[in-house]
Structure 1
């Protein structure tokens, strides 16, 4: 590994240590490994003509703009002392370089498409020009608040990137930390080649959608009105570091409570299934035949529609401090109630919910939009009553 640290700095806005390094293309690809593709979840690989030209330039030995890597939060503590030692004495740069060059310690913040192209060339058997190197910034940040600000705000100022893509980057970097902060939580990706077979296990895409719904106060993440969608995204990004960090802390708090709810819901409904004739399966654990769909309510809370609606409802209802306490009271009351419920009951009123949802005529309304609206309004009714009204009644009110 021929990685050379050529400079040290600190971001004066966040006090984040940054190491500037240079290394051969082949060594760079070894550092990021094949795992860098995890960042492409639900994100298209770009195929602009400009990238074809860039590929030819790289083959010819062109020097690329610097790539930004973030040392994974759980690895920062072991590398920071080496950074500080190198700040005091340049003799420590070698040890820092060795630590930064370990495979699997980083995530890509900026440079995904360039890395795709270099990987393609390697797979095609291309021999990179001798002496051709890559400039890299290594960000050493374990404070989630600062890393959130770094990814969402600073990255937004460098190039156009949708809020969805930024949040995917965020959660890929923070996945381990979020899991460790909530007992029993597991966040999995499509690449993990696994399925939900227990409570507190959620797909990453659904968690990202939940967070996006929370910060935009909307369960409609793909609005037909482009201007309205842009205004929502700009509003979500127009926040200070403190506001964003507090927002993420509140989301994590509610995600923990949501996981507790899921644990009880999974226990109560795991042996229950209903026949939903002609409906499209929206839950995992689904078996189909020619006429009916078997919907297993045990995974109801893992549905992306439900997660988005739940967190959008929290954001909408608790927009004022005077109401926010009702959300906590409602969720706490529901968890307590569910713990006393035995198998075979329907404390969430899901039979009523499914009847109301099935009443939408797919020829006249967008069923997905109508479902999310019913869910969001139902949860808001539940929060408004501090959990004292049964959810079965809340669904009915939401449908009126």
Structure 2
């Protein structure tokens, strides 16, 4: 039916919070208003909403054996008897969109599903199954579904040494620069969008604002234009730092201090370092969430181009160094002391903030620094 026909049909039920006990009224939280504003914008741009679900209690289901009989049962009688089982927020967005530009949207078509029952309890059951009964996915579960196509695209656009296989009896481990687990890459994807280092893929993404921030970043194509180049810069730096490895004594391989010396690869062995770099670049290019430097995509493009040029110059500089010069430049002893020299609580959070600050300094100095001690001690 058309949007106007739908609004005329359900208006009374809408005013009565959906016309069914327990149904949510239109949400008035800041995040709900943001998502409805996004939905209204999408509607005006021509998007098609998922079907809304309307319920109706009738005396005899057997009488509704034709399409015409069903239409008559839905349209006739007191419209307050209809129930909006699923779609209160979409209905609110449609009402707001019609109010903004009545002529533009009222004749658009909308798919409506009708659930007809002989008892109200059946409609309540349907509402519970559709809404309350949904099991929220944690981030890890979401990533299992989402990151397969993401990683496939990253393989095409970024020159990794390899993306490690983590399925099967013997999951692969990173042994050299340019190697990463697919779930770690997906976590970088989230950190880039949220522009914060405190991202835990094991926890439920319950923060409505985080979901909205991700949705806005995805819809504006910022990932496509800026995320892949950012990861490529990280890979290039990873390779450049690891040139030192053949000349230095091997560490224990996981970057933890146990009296042995860190090697170049150990910098980006660390998840906090990878996330810290990604977030530092994201903030430098797009600004923090809620206080973007500007929304001019061209200006963002210029900023990331400047950072890419800085990375290029630094990797070339490292490529020209011998082992002694490179060891002196990386200052891995200072890094080891700063990270592991003092016992502290919340080590993971400390490390993420530490690396974000370190790489932010590197970006602010346009990658032109005498040694990385400037960053490690910043």
In structure 2, the partner of 1:67 is none
Counting only pairs closer than 5 Å after superposition, residues 116-135 of structure 1 correspond to structure 2 as none
Structure 1 residue ranges without an equivalent (≥5): 1-11, 15-157, 276-280
Matched, 1:182 2:162: no
In structure 2, C-alpha distance between the alignment counterparts of 1:371 and 1:256, rounded to whole Å: 22
Do the aligned partners of 2:307 and 2:363 also contact (CA within 8 Å) in 1?
A: yes
- Higher strand proportion: 1
Deviation (angstroms), 1:237: 2.9
In structure 1, C-alpha distance between the alignment counterparts of 2:195 and 2:217, rounded to whole Å: 17
In structure 1, the partner of 2:290 is none
Counting only pairs closer than 5 Å after superposition, residues 94-243 of structure 1 correspond to structure 2 as 160-191=136-167, 193-222=171-200, 230-239=207-216, 241-243=218-220
Query: Once the two structures are superposed, what CA deviation does each residue of 1:337-364 show, in whole Å capped at 9, x if it has no partner?
Result: 22112234323332211111224332xx
In terms of Rg, which structure is larger? 2
CA, structure 1 residues 351+367, in 2 after alignment: closer, same or farther (shift >3 Å)? same
In structure 1, the partner of 2:92 is none
Compute the TM-score of the two structures, normalised by the length of structure 2: 0.52
Compute the TM-score of the two structures, normalised by the length of structure 1: 0.50
In structure 2, C-alpha distance between the alignment counterparts of 1:292 and 1:339, rounded to whole Å: 28
In structure 1, C-alpha distance between the alignment counterparts of 2:195 and 2:160, rounded to whole Å: 27
CA, structure 1 residues 200+162, in 2 after alignment: closer, same or farther (shift >3 Å)? same
In structure 2, C-alpha distance between the alignment counterparts of 1:271 and 1:316, rounded to whole Å: 35
In structure 2, the partner of 1:317 is 284
CA, structure 1 residues 264+240, in 2 after alignment: closer, same or farther (shift >3 Å)? closer
Q: 1:342 aligns with which of 322, 339, 364?
A: 322
In structure 1, the partner of 2:31 is none
The alignment partner of 2:354 has SS state of helix
Matched, 1:355 2:331: no
In structure 1, C-alpha distance between the alignment counterparts of 2:276 and 2:341, rounded to whole Å: 19
Matched, 1:302 2:278: no
Do the aligned partners of 2:334 and 2:373 also contact (CA within 8 Å) in 1?
A: yes
The alignment partner of 2:277 has SS state of helix
Matched, 1:259 2:226: no
Query: Once the two structures are superposed, what CA deviation does each residue of 1:293-328 show, in whole Å capped at 9, x if it has no partner?
Result: 564432421321111111111122222347545432
In structure 1, the partner of 2:349 is 369
CA, structure 1 residues 185+179, in 2 after alignment: closer, same or farther (shift >3 Å)? farther
Do the aligned partners of 1:200 and 1:259 also contact (CA within 8 Å) in 2?
A: yes
In structure 2, C-alpha distance between the alignment counterparts of 1:240 and 1:379, rounded to whole Å: 22
CA, structure 1 residues 240+246, in 2 after alignment: closer, same or farther (shift >3 Å)? closer
Do the aligned partners of 1:179 and 1:185 also contact (CA within 8 Å) in 2?
A: no
In structure 2, C-alpha distance between the alignment counterparts of 1:177 and 1:324, rounded to whole Å: 20
In structure 2, C-alpha distance between the alignment counterparts of 1:203 and 1:241, rounded to whole Å: 22
The alignment partner of 1:267 has SS state of helix
In structure 1, C-alpha distance between the alignment counterparts of 2:176 and 2:204, rounded to whole Å: 38
Q: Which moved more, 1:365-374 or 1:212-221?
A: 365-374
In structure 2, C-alpha distance between the alignment counterparts of 1:260 and 1:242, rounded to whole Å: 28
In structure 2, C-alpha distance between the alignment counterparts of 1:273 and 1:370, rounded to whole Å: 27
Structure 2 residue ranges without an equivalent (≥5): 1-45, 49-133, 288-292, 294-298
State the number of aligned residues: 230
Query: Once the two structures are superposed, what CA deviation does each residue of 1:347-399 show, in whole Å capped at 9, x if it has no partner?
Result: 3332211111224332xx322211111111010011011111232112212xx
In structure 1, C-alpha distance between the alignment counterparts of 2:179 and 2:272, rounded to whole Å: 16
